[in-house]
């Protein structure tokens, strides 16, 4: 377990105002099918969403960062993520700190590599196409479930942002610790199937 204690697992995710779920369940009284409270209109061509980023580690997490409009670039990653969040975590943890990010092209930009080197931040080698190894994927699932069960649901970007930040703060650190504690078995499962899909 100690080998994972200094790893900051990071990732980004997109949350949409319109759920991607194809199944919607509505519990209603007989004869109330067309009441406004029981009708859900779906806009298939809009609605918007938010791109968020965060990091988790044993007994800690980074506040959820919500990206304002625009495209994610290496410059934004350095300026909005690495500088204000990762660098500070590195300082708190010490020289044993390891950053885990995936192999997205913008994370591998030269200016990102130069920044990490200048701050003495070690990056973990991460196998290609292996998101199910990253315990943060299950944290995204938990956050998505929490957002989906909010009543009333978020209908605007600002309300979704507020909901995401509130639900992120409500997620239990014990759940996060448990997911990180599963890294040994995750890695064993990945090796046993030679990098193919695992049950995680």
Secondary structure (3-state) at 187 = helix
Record the tokens describing residue 64, joined without a space.
């959820």
pLDDT band at 110 (very low <50, low <70, confident <90, very high): very high
Greater pLDDT, 184 or 110: 110
Dist CA 171 CA 59 (whole Å): 13
State yes or no: pLDDT of 24 exceeds 60.
no
Domains present along the chain, CATH in parentheses = 7-20+47-193 (3.30.420.10)
The number of C-alpha atoms within 13 Å of 2 and in the hemisphere containing its C-beta is 1
Q: What is the pLDDT of residues 34-80, one digit of tens each?
A: 677 776 655 444 568 899 999 999 999 999 999 988 788 999 999 99
Q: What is the pLDDT of residues 74-91, one digit of tens each?
A: 999 999 999 999 999 999
Q: Between helices 136-148 and 173-181, what is the axis angle to 10°?
A: 150
Dist CA 9 CA 135 (whole Å): 7
State yes or no: pLDDT of 10 exceeds 80.
yes
Whether 62 contacts 89, CB under 8 Å? yes
Q: Between helices 157-170 and 136-148, what is the axis angle to 10°?
A: 120
Q: What is the pLDDT of residues 126-167, one digit of tens each?
A: 877 665 788 999 999 999 999 999 888 888 999 999 999 999
Q: What is the pLDDT of residue 159?
A: 93
When computed from its CA atoms, the radius of gyration of the chain, rounded to whole angstroms, is 19
Greater pLDDT, 92 or 35: 92
Q: Enter the pTM of the model.
A: 0.82
Record the tokens describing residue 68, joined without a space.
């304002």
Q: What is the pLDDT of residue 3?
A: 82
- Average pLDDT across the chain, whole number: 86
């Amino acid at each position: 377990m100690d080998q994972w204690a200094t790893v900051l697992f990071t990732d980004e995710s997109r949350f949409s105002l319109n759920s991607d779920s194809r199944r919607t369940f509505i519990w209603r009284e007989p004869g109330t099918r067309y009441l406004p409270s029981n009708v859900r209109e779906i806009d298939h061509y809009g609605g918007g969403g938010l791109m968020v980023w965060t990091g988790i580690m044993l007994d800690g997490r980074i506040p959820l960062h919500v990206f304002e409009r625009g495209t994610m670039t290496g410059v934004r990653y350095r300026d909005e993520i690495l500088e204000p969040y990762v660098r500070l975590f590195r300082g708190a943890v010490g020289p044993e700190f390891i950053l885990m990010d995936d192999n997205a092209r913008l994370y591998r930009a030269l200016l990102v590599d130069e920044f990490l080197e200048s701050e003495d931040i070690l990056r973990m080698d991460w196998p290609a196409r292996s998101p199910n190894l990253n315990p943060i994927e299950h944290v995204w699932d938990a956050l998505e479930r929490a957002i989906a069960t909010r009543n009333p649901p978020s209908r605007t970007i600002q309300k979704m942002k507020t909901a995401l930040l509130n639900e992120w703060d409500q997620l239990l650190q014990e759940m996060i610790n448990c997911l990180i504690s599963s890294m040994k078995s995750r890695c064993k499962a990945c090796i046993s199937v030679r990098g193919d899909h695992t049950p995680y």
